[in-house]
Amino acid sequence: MTPSVPFHEVPETTFAYTKEAPLFHHYVHHIHFYAGNEKGKKDLPDYARRYGQEPLEKADVIVALGGDGTMLDAMKMAYPFDIPVYGIDRGGEGYLLNSEPTDLISEIYHAAVVPFPALDCSGVDVKKHPFHHICLNDVATRCETSQTAHIRITLNDVVYRDEVWCNSVIVATPQGSTGYCRWADGMVIPVGCRQLSIAGVAQIKTKAPGINATVDEQTRIQIEALDTEKRPQSLDCDNVTEMHFKRCLIQKAPQMVRVLYNPMHQVVRNAIFAQRILNRS
């Protein structure tokens, strides 16, 4: 029910997704370019002049210019329109992006289509007001006061941790696991691995066992805030915050974001290498 999978036990075939993924094989005529950092914004006018700049609602594809953060922003933009995203590295590390293309239209046509999961997060606050969000990065609790959080975690309707004492609990997708989850010493999950990462921040393990695990992406994760009058909690769903939350249910969203990769690019090896180094450090 609650498997924690060390990286060395994850089969290498998990990462060979660009060999198995279908190819896009569509010539795109309407591209929306999006830049999220200074390097990307500097290059965007030249790309727009060469290929045109279409409004998002009319685009066949989003081309993101920047780093991994820019790529995640572009994926959020693409989600409601169900269009793919092709990233060009203009950041520092760029594990989620492709290198500079020699022929953008041709490389998009020959790109491998890799689905990225999203999280469906629904719940209620302490006044029983409902909320619902789609998250591509992570969902994280946050203390509203200096009091430590008191949290219960349930997986597939079975209590996994009756109580966790910490500052925050994070549930991250593979693409989101390199951010806040990594900072909290949570497991970094390679792109294409069908798992979610759950981690606690500043856990007080002398009161109760902590949590730092990976679970199957189909797992239904419920987080419940306990002692909410004394220990009020907020819930960060990507860049949206729900104040005074009581409980939430996190599960895989039915729709995924399609990301386009050059099969000859080293993005998969980069992701594997980074994941191994981070998890062993």
Yes or no: say if 135 and 170 are a contact pair by the CB < 8 Å rule.
Answer: no
Residue 263 inside a domain? The answer is yes
Taking Cα atoms as reference points, which of 219, 279, 256 lies closest to residue 3? 219
- If asked whether residues 59 and 153 sit together in one domain, one would say no
User: What tens digit of pLDDT does each residue of 33-58 get?
Assistant: 999 899 999 999 999 999 999 999 99
- Look up the CATH number of the domain holding residue 176: 2.60.200.30
Considering the domain architecture, whether residues 180 and 222 belong to the same structural domain is answered as yes
Per-residue confidence in pLDDT tens, the chain, 281 aa: 333 333 333 334 334 444 567 889 999 999 999 998 999 999 999 999 999 999 999 999 999 999 888 988 999 999 999 999 999 999 766 678 888 898 999 999 999 888 889 999 999 999 999 999 999 999 999 999 999 999 999 999 999 999 999 999 999 998 888 778 877 888 888 777 889 999 999 999 888 998 999 999 999 999 999 999 999 999 999 989 999 999 999 999 999 999 998 876 655 555 554 555 455 55
Residue 147 CA to residue 164 CA, distance in Å, equals 13
- As a whole number of angstroms, the distance between CA 191 and CA 203 comes to 27
Q: What is the pLDDT of residue 265?
A: 60
Q: Which domain holds residue 146?
A: 119-252
Question: Do residues 161 and 193 both lie within one domain?
Answer: yes
Q: What is the pTM of this model?
A: 0.79
- Residue 184 CB: number of other CB atoms within 10 A? 21
pLDDT of residue 1: 36
- Output the furthest CA–CA distance in the chain (Å, rounded): 60
Q: Specify the residue for token string 């920047």.
A: 66
From residue 93, alpha-carbon distances to 49, 73, 262 in Å are: 27, 16, 17
Residue 2 lies in a domain: no
Residue 65, domain CATH: 3.40.50.10330
- Which pLDDT score, from 0 to 100, does residue 131 have? 98
Among 28, 119, 112, 45, smallest CA distance to 75 is for: 119
- The reply to whether 4 falls in a domain is no
Domain count, the chain: 2
Contact present, 46 and 88 (Cβ < 8 Å): no
**Buried/exposed 98-118: b ≥16 CB within 10 Å, e otherwise:** beebeebeebbeebbbbebbb
One domain, residues 159 and 244: yes
Q: What is the pLDDT of residue 92?
A: 66
* Residue 207 forms part of a structural domain: yes
The Cα 192–Cα 83 span in angstroms is 19
